[in-house]
Amino acid sequence: MHSLESNHVIVGMSGGVDSSVAALLLKQQGHRVSGLFMKNWDEDDGEPYCTVRQDLEDASRVCDRLGIDLHTANFAAEYWDDVFSAFLREHEAGRTPNPDVLCNREIKFKQFARYAEALGADRIATGHYARLAKRGGRLRLLKGIDAGKDQSYFLQALNINQLAAAVFPLGGLEKTEVRRIAHEQGFHNHGKKDSTGICFIGERRFRDFLQRYLPRNPGAMVDEAGVTVGQHIGLPYYTRGQRQGLAVGGLAGRREAPWYVLDKDLAANRLIVTQNPAALCNDGLTAGSLNWLGEPPSLPLRCTAKVRYRQPDQAAWVNAEQPGKVTVRFDAPQRAITPGQYVCFYDGDICLGGGVIEAFSNFKAKASVHD
């Protein structure tokens, strides 16, 4: 895209309050602003959880109020090929993927960026709560000011070129301030609920949705000793740390306490569960598919890390494992480290990058074996 002096910015308009205020702020700053509404999932809009029609109407109303053009694009084929197919493969492999991270890299900051450039944009903008700044002469991705809404975790898989073409107008604002601005501007969607669920697919009963694409493969649900305590419907339908939907209870000789998913035995098609929450805590992990935002740091690296969105930063050591992989050792055990999810690394408010969790481990347990 073009130089910073150029000022045509196309905003990814979702119909929500964040992208609406992002467009407003850019216009107030003197940029020539357009909107782009992306449809990335082809489905009957009449289904109760499909909000595409309403979201497009909301985006149109905001753009009309701002006096800016709204373009529309359908990236459903790209979403299926580059995000959703990988999402299904990961589930089939027994892992729990995070499609939002991949969606940002492949759709919002690749397909959207290309489309916007073809429309003459110099920059693209989104409503992400994150910041960009030069630190040490290099472009850095920084956390958003609002600690409760910071979304740098979801942007960790981008590359520097993708970030260099982006603008995040909300990074320096609290969410409450964004809603206040939207209310003062008379945006009809100022109180609209934040979207949740799978990126671009929306809120729906996850198990029912997944069954459309992955067959059930029932098997034994066993405790840590290998004793059968129930039946599972298929390993892809469960994730580590899960408590709901296990249908285990009233077992003779067992205490009345919740059961949690502890692990998956893919070879034997067994779901391992536990009534001991402490068993879900591990102080280490191995990660691959690494993406560093800038020059790879020297290892070992002392930093903070998080294994899920909105988790407080956790002090850790990152060490080289083998080519393309690292081990992460946390100062304190972390609950339900889950293969397929992302670990994100930070130096203060700087997002250094991250990787896909491949396995969890216990360094202290290993140390005690050798003592």
Side chain identity, residue 182: A
Share of the chain above pLDDT 90, in %: 80
The active-site residue, picked from 50, 63, 103, 281, is 103
pLDDT band at 333 (very low <50, low <70, confident <90, very high): very high
Please tell me the predicted confidence (pLDDT) of residue 300. 97
Q: Would residue 351 show up in a list of annotated catalytic residues for this protein?
A: no
Averaged pLDDT for residues 233-250: 91
Query: What does each C-alpha distance from 282 to 80, 317, 333, 364 come to in angstroms?
Result: 34, 14, 5, 9
Query: What does each C-alpha distance from 335 to 279, 303, 332 come to in angstroms?
Result: 9, 19, 10
Q: Would residue 50 show up in a list of annotated catalytic residues for this protein?
A: no
Contacts of 371 (CB under 8 A, 6+ apart): none
Reported for 298-305, long-range contacts at CB under 8 A and 24+ positions apart, including other chains, are 299/326, 301/345, 303/345, 303/346, 303/347, 303/352, 304/345, 304/346, 304/347, 305/330, 305/343, 305/344, 305/345, 305/346
203: pLDDT strictly greater than 60 = no
More confident residue, 177 or 254: 177
pLDDT band at 262 (very low <50, low <70, confident <90, very high): very high
Given a contact cutoff of 8 angstroms between Cβ atoms, the answer to whether 235 and 271 are in contact is yes
Averaged pLDDT for residues 79-91: 94
How far is the C-alpha of 165 from the C-alpha of 121, rounded, in Å? 10
Averaged pLDDT for residues 79-98: 94
The active-site residue, picked from 63, 199, 303, 344, is 199
How far is the C-alpha of 132 from the C-alpha of 121, rounded, in Å? 19
Given a contact cutoff of 8 angstroms between Cβ atoms, the answer to whether 321 and 282 are in contact is no
Q: What DSSP line would sit under 31-73, residue for residue?
A: -EEEEEEEE-----TTSTT--HHHHHHHHHHHHHHHT--EEEE
On average, the pLDDT of the chain sits at 91
